[in-house]
Structure 1
């Protein structure tokens, strides 16, 4: 019985990195941040990660000569906790803004706002919910901490950090959406259930998301 519980827990704890849990964000976990989820299709990012994505058919991205990265949001607005304090939430959005600007500035000049020829990037850190029978669920918070074991029953106390993002890309000349993406991933594993998550635990994941967005743009531009 203990081995069975451990297997189930490890599956759920691994989330995006494990084959025994869905690697795509399911519709019931969409946050409502994007305007239209019905157009999303399963796809792979440039780094071969599973994403739900839509790109406007026939879009000519060469018309975008600069990029404006809007301040990222936490959506829906979470309540900070002892495990995930407000300083961590603020640090995550601040770093997401920074890495998006750093990566996009490699291929386009940064604009100060919307306008003709401007690609608008509208990002959010969104909610992921998870629960395991017999374990405490962490629901509807931007950073969901999933127990990766059955605590004292098995001696497994490590916890994984799981983060999801939704982003819309708009034409700065008219505000129309030209692309959308939804994805999730695993941050740094915490040493134990008492460890407080910091923004540093999410940095590598956020960097990867930003790089993939820019590589997708470059791929479209080459077509």
Structure 2
């Protein structure tokens, strides 16, 4: 018998050696399924389906996937919807590591662009609006999306205080609200206020820093 040769005995070892490549083969399919699920939710919303009317079964049918495919990625509909809404928005800016002023301008400009996107994208505006009537979904969104943004502002403010750019005698939470409040006013409360000025963030931060800056404005005498 020639089957019991050294080469034959080594043959079974070839299979396990290829195992590390398996995840790469499955990844495109996984990404394609996720994109199909996201697209299905967005399309359903475009067609006028409310958040409360969405279900795993309905999304799975629209995406052409099985329910198990969705449940492997999200434990429930609320978690999926949070990811969909977060995906509709631009990711928060990365801190440049440059000046505190520039990081604050970047944060405010991000929120300006987000406000423009909300006005121009019906799906995003509809989702955020309906979320206010769905306490459970709103709570998850606040925890996973809003809180990280607030912490980003806090990080910039703490750095500003440490570097002597911002006054250390003020409550830091109040400073965060004073810095971000003007852009929130325009994007949330006054949704018809102009946001198309690319220099708006600079103007807002420059104006506010004259009040909370560690040093008085030029020309001010003591």
* Greater share of residues in helix: 2
| Bigger CA radius of gyration | 2
Greater RCO, CA 8 A, separation 6+: 1
Specify which structure has the higher proportion of strand.
Answer: 1
Give TM class, smaller chain.
Answer: under 0.3
